Structure 1
Amino acid sequence: MKTRIPLGMAAVMGLALLLVGCGKGEHVENAPRGGHKEQAGEAGHEGHAGEAGHEGEEEGGDHVALSPEAAAEAKLEIGSPGPGKIEISLELPGEVIADPDQVAHITPKAAGTAREVKAVLGSRVKAGEVLAVIESPELGEAKIGYLEALRARDLASFDHDRQSTVSGNTKTMLGVLAKEPSPEAAREETAGLAIGEDKGRLLTAYSNHRLAKRNRDREEDLFRRKINSEAELLTARNAFDAAAAEYASVRESVEFAHVARLLDAQRALRAAEANLQNRERRLHLLGVAESEVEGLGKEPDDRIAWYSLRSPIEGIVVEKHCVLGESVDTSTRVFVVTDLSRVQVRFQVPPADLPRVRPGQKVRVRVDGLDASGEGRVDYLSPVAEERTRMAEGRVFLPNPDGKWRPGLFGAVRIVLEEAEAKAALPAEAVFRHEGREVVFVEEEERKYEPRPVRIGRRDPATVEVLEGVKPGDKVVVKNGFVLKAELGKEAGGHDH
């Protein structure tokens, strides 16, 4: 309210002030009393009004009343102070990075030329998926060597199988002859056994041996009956001994020969298989997958030198340094694939805080400006301080199934050092700043709310400890109180106006 002073009175007051400035007190004493009282009265009124307004504010004189429609739209939630836990924490800046253990730098195994480029920047690939196809003369020679070794192995395997069959048949035939059947029966029993030219030698020697034995037995019988001479008997015996020796020699030769040939075939097969394995290992070193090795013989001749460059992990192509027709070598980082299903957040711990931080502590991470928050635990705290900053690096892993944590983002890392018990706690969003004080809105009557000053103790981003101002049982607005704060601001603005 503005007080208007009459023009004449203003002149008198000005003269009085001038006289006071000149040191003539009588002019102050003779000053009009009415004017002095009026000013005093007005000043006193203004001072009293100010005190009354301040006192009313301390007592919660400001209120916000909502209409039924506004109350329904505001969707206020009411709660009451009660026991709770306050997280005592340390907040540090952090940076989101890709997990180094889930990053693949893909380089060619053999120098060559890019003939096909399938992957594009930002595409998601699976483990084993083809990213590019490279033509390499070195690989072509390796494939040809493998195919030659494959054919040699197949021949050695065939020879080994044949020698195994011959060896088995030879053992069977020797077993038949050991029973000393007649030559005719022996030929009949071994008719289906294939052992090569040794079969004829063995049967001939066996037949001669059996014939010589029969002649010797006949001559001995005739000699006992004195029908033949001793010379004829000796001749028959000598013939038998010679035939027996020949049969034994042939039998022994055949027996040792089939064993030796089988051993030679086994050694040749092992050597061929070893050579083939070495050739295959060479292909793997040059980037040829197992599935591709199996189909080498079916490749067109003009693609014998081509091989596929594959991703070793599932992830996203974050770097691509290859175009069609470009020459690449074993030092070229053609692609970088990163699995972002889990990321790492790095932070630096100052020396003063190092005694309070340890692996295993709960960590909450948020990125301002993004709807991104996560929780993990301190996975690692470096035992060595960084030389330049004298800080120790820590890290926490966060799951990232939807990809919201992008490497390169900066955020806040809040390490929970301990959890303290609070006798009276409220959600942090229930507390507002009003006229330089912290207040909560208390429902005094239906749809009528008082901004009540409170004294806050410990706090964390979600919960505050209330020391004074409200008590258990008070109906405190714990959600959407910003609606009341806005209404309170409107009323204050209208009063000032």
Structure 2
Amino acid sequence: MKTKITLPILAILAIGAVFFWVIPRTERSTVVGRFKGISVETARRAPDVRKGPHGGKLFSKDDLRVEVVIFEQGVPPQFRVYIAREEGGIVPLDGVSLTIELHRLDRVDAVHFKPSGDYLLGDKTVEEPHSFDVKIQAQWKGNSYRWEYSQVEARAELSEEAMKNAGITLAAAGPAQLKNALVLPGEVGLNEEKVAHVVPRLDGVVKKVNKALGDPARRGEVIAVLESRELADAKSDYLAALKRANLAKADIERETAVFENASKMLEILERESDLDEIYRQLQGLTIGESRAQLLPAYTKLKLAKSVYLREKGLFEKKISSGSEYQIALEEYKSAEAKYLSLREKTAHDGSWNLLQKKRAAELAELDLETARQKLLALGLAQPEIAALPNQTGSVFTRYELRAPIDGIVIRKHVAAGEAVRKDADIFLLADLSEVWVNIAIPAKDVKNARLGQKVRTHFENLGLEAEGTLDYLGSIVDERTRTVTGRVVVPNPEGRWRPGTFVTAELLLEENPVPLAVPAEAIQTWRDGPAAFVKYGDFFEARPLTLGKSDGEFVEVLRGLRPGERFAAKNSFTVKAEAEKASATHDH
């Protein structure tokens, strides 16, 4: 009785053992722990996946056995796959086609293989973290094989509530400016490129002064009026040149019309034979002397030709003598030669006369432009010059001195009734919308300064602060102060930056734009290297980084992150602690 009961029990246990051995080979398990709003995904492994002789994961189907190894000794991590028969026979590697897909949180990496010694070698480095779903596809002897497994590390899942409670904030990877400032003394000065000395440019007597010290002036505004005989002479020269130029223009217009009409007359004479029609078409056209010369010659040619043709006919019929025919021929040829000569002369004279008129007009225009440029050099504006023909002689001596720039009168040396020379410096205007801040850079720091660097200038007493760039760096070290002068242009639209004020300047010696950076506090140490925790969906994953320069606030990322990826920027150590709980081992 006992035996009958024991045998069924043993059979059931045997069947259970078989299922226990088979089922885990094709299924994956996930262990998830949850506490205080935080869930941690542990490394998902198939506990029954066999280990191969090279320490890798061993898969088999039918007569094919595949061992997948992530090899990391002395080389960047790489896939090595060893192929053999299930019963221990050798499989030629060139007969096996193999592809492995690594399904990461953010992408899929496809790895292709080729024979290398006694194994198949992957064509890509297996980047950290080694956390992915692995899909193996193989073809051998016309058969297809597929295996899958997962290995998960360096991940943690945090709910929004848990992130809020832990003070974890996210940021997107992107460009940044790395800064290193040098604090230096500076002094506000005039922008010397926006300062204008006002001189009369000719001798005269001051009739009126329109601006006082400190007054604003607009470009082109009259700031003083002088009386000058020299200016009257220049205006007279201009008007005389203007008249000559206008006469030259009229001459060239008439000569152009004569030339065009003469050319038209030549065309009509070439085309028409009826004199009445010729005179009709030429009626009303201004042609000049060539009409009086050419038309009679043409009439004579027509008559001589008619006589010649008549005598030729009579001579051929033996009616008239040969002498009469010869005389008619000579008169015809003579008339033809004279006519053709007059045609050539008409064409040549018309072209030559037009050319002479054009030359005269060009010389007149040159004289006019010279006179105009002289007036411009004396300070007259173009509208004033254009209005001269309508002015009377009484205002020719009036010289209006105008502001050359928008600015403030910061110096004035002129009074009404004063005789001034043409080189007298009577006004100084300065545009204070921008000022220069001259900074003293110690000689030992000059090697770190360069044009284009940003400079932050501030004056604590008035609460002034502005940013500009270093646009000048001196070439000489001051013997007394052992400094080099640098300069920055500071906007001053309200005029609060007053020249002569001492200020503080912060020269950003090493402000360098970097294409990708993260806050320094976001960097954590993960497996002896820097890493940031990138968020995809509900998971954070440690991403090993290759770092560049740092200014203490931001750290340049050379490799490991892509622009726009979101990561734990603040309190990332909390994410690290949870990820460490999920990845106690690094099992490849």
Aligned mates of 1:205, 1:382 — CA distance in 2: 85
The alpha-carbon deviation at position 267 of structure 1 amounts to 1.0
Q: Which residue of the partner structure matches residue 132 of structure 1? A: 224
RMSD of aligned Cα (Å)? 2.9
Aligned mates of 2:199, 2:262 — CA distance in 1: 57
Check 1:179–1:408 CA distance in 2 against 1; reply closer, same or farther (3 A cut): same
* TM alignment of 1:397-408, pairs within 5 A: 397-408=489-500
Q: Is the 8 A contact 2:201 2:423 kept in 1?
A: no
Q: Which residue of the partner structure matches residue 474 of structure 2? A: 382
Aligned mates of 1:224, 1:377 — CA distance in 2: 105
State which drifts further: 347-356 or 172-181: 347-356
Check 1:417–1:274 CA distance in 2 against 1; reply closer, same or farther (3 A cut): closer
Match of 1:372 among 450, 461, 464: 464
Aligned mates of 1:379, 1:221 — CA distance in 2: 99
* TM alignment of 1:91-130, pairs within 5 A: 91-130=183-222
SS at match of 1:324: coil
Aligned mates of 1:230, 1:355 — CA distance in 2: 111
Q: Is the 8 A contact 1:104 1:313 kept in 2?
A: yes
Q: Which residue of the partner structure matches residue 406 of structure 2? A: 314
Q: Is the 8 A contact 2:473 2:487 kept in 1?
A: yes
The alpha-carbon deviation at position 403 of structure 1 amounts to 0.6
Check 1:360–1:239 CA distance in 2 against 1; reply closer, same or farther (3 A cut): closer
State which drifts further: 376-385 or 265-274: 376-385
Unaligned runs of 5+ in 2: 1-178, 512-518, 522-570, 572-588
State which drifts further: 176-185 or 344-353: 344-353
Q: Which residue of the partner structure matches residue 424 of structure 2? A: 332
The alpha-carbon deviation at position 185 of structure 1 amounts to 2.2
The alpha-carbon deviation at position 422 of structure 1 amounts to 10
Paired positions, count? 341
The alpha-carbon deviation at position 359 of structure 1 amounts to 4.7
The alpha-carbon deviation at position 115 of structure 1 amounts to 2.6
The alpha-carbon deviation at position 355 of structure 1 amounts to 5.3
Q: Which residue of the partner structure matches residue 270 of structure 1? A: 362
SS at match of 1:384: coil
Q: Which letter maps to 1:261?
A: N
* TM alignment of 1:448-463, pairs within 5 A: none
Check 1:357–1:209 CA distance in 2 against 1; reply closer, same or farther (3 A cut): closer
Q: Which residue of the partner structure matches residue 215 of structure 1? A: 307
SS at match of 2:334: helix
Match of 1:200 among 286, 292, 299: 292
Q: Which residue of the partner structure matches residue 244 of structure 1? A: 336
Q: Deviations over 1:215-270 (max 9, x none)?
A: 11112222333333333323322322232222222222222211111111111111
Q: Which residue of the partner structure matches residue 283 of structure 1? A: 375
The alpha-carbon deviation at position 191 of structure 1 amounts to 1.6
Q: Which residue of the partner structure matches residue 179 of structure 1? A: 271
Q: Which letter maps to 1:323?
A: A
The alpha-carbon deviation at position 288 of structure 1 amounts to 1.9
Aligned mates of 2:364, 2:510 — CA distance in 1: 68
The alpha-carbon deviation at position 412 of structure 1 amounts to 3.0
Aligned mates of 1:283, 1:374 — CA distance in 2: 43
Q: Is the 8 A contact 1:98 1:407 kept in 2?
A: yes
Match of 1:303 among 395, 407, 416: 395
Q: Which residue of the partner structure matches residue 249 of structure 2? A: 157
The alpha-carbon deviation at position 352 of structure 1 amounts to 4.9
Aligned mates of 2:181, 2:280 — CA distance in 1: 98
Which protein is bigger by CA-based radius of gyration? 1
Match of 1:232 among 324, 343, 363: 324
Matched, 1:348 2:440: yes
Check 1:133–1:168 CA distance in 2 against 1; reply closer, same or farther (3 A cut): same
SS at match of 1:185: helix
Q: Is the 8 A contact 1:206 1:247 kept in 2?
A: yes
Identity of aligned residues (%): 39
SS at match of 1:383: coil
Check 1:410–1:224 CA distance in 2 against 1; reply closer, same or farther (3 A cut): same
Q: Is the 8 A contact 1:182 1:210 kept in 2?
A: no
Unaligned runs of 5+ in 1: 1-86, 424-471, 473-497
Check 1:210–1:422 CA distance in 2 against 1; reply closer, same or farther (3 A cut): closer
Aligned mates of 1:248, 1:417 — CA distance in 2: 87
Aligned mates of 1:371, 1:116 — CA distance in 2: 42
Aligned mates of 1:165, 1:115 — CA distance in 2: 51
Q: Is the 8 A contact 1:110 1:287 kept in 2?
A: no
The alpha-carbon deviation at position 382 of structure 1 amounts to 2.2
Check 1:358–1:242 CA distance in 2 against 1; reply closer, same or farther (3 A cut): closer
Q: Is the 8 A contact 2:187 2:437 kept in 1?
A: yes
SS at match of 2:200: coil
Q: Is the 8 A contact 1:123 1:317 kept in 2?
A: yes
SS at match of 1:385: coil
Check 1:230–1:340 CA distance in 2 against 1; reply closer, same or farther (3 A cut): same
Q: Which residue of the partner structure matches residue 349 of structure 2? A: 257
Q: Which letter maps to 2:373?
A: R
Q: Which letter maps to 2:338?
A: E
The alpha-carbon deviation at position 173 of structure 1 amounts to 0.4
Aligned mates of 1:306, 1:372 — CA distance in 2: 46
Q: Is the 8 A contact 2:204 2:422 kept in 1?
A: no
Q: Which letter maps to 1:296?
A: L
SS at match of 1:257: helix
Aligned mates of 2:469, 2:459 — CA distance in 1: 17
Check 1:321–1:208 CA distance in 2 against 1; reply closer, same or farther (3 A cut): same
Aligned mates of 2:391, 2:424 — CA distance in 1: 27
Aligned mates of 1:235, 1:385 — CA distance in 2: 105
Bigger proportion of residues as helix:
1
Q: Which residue of the partner structure matches residue 191 of structure 1? A: 283
Check 1:328–1:229 CA distance in 2 against 1; reply closer, same or farther (3 A cut): same
Q: TM-score, normalised by structure 1?
A: 0.63
Q: Deviations over 1:145-176 (max 9, x none)?
A: 11111111111111111111000000110111
Q: Is the 8 A contact 1:92 1:413 kept in 2?
A: yes
Aligned mates of 2:445, 2:310 — CA distance in 1: 116
Aligned mates of 2:351, 2:421 — CA distance in 1: 51
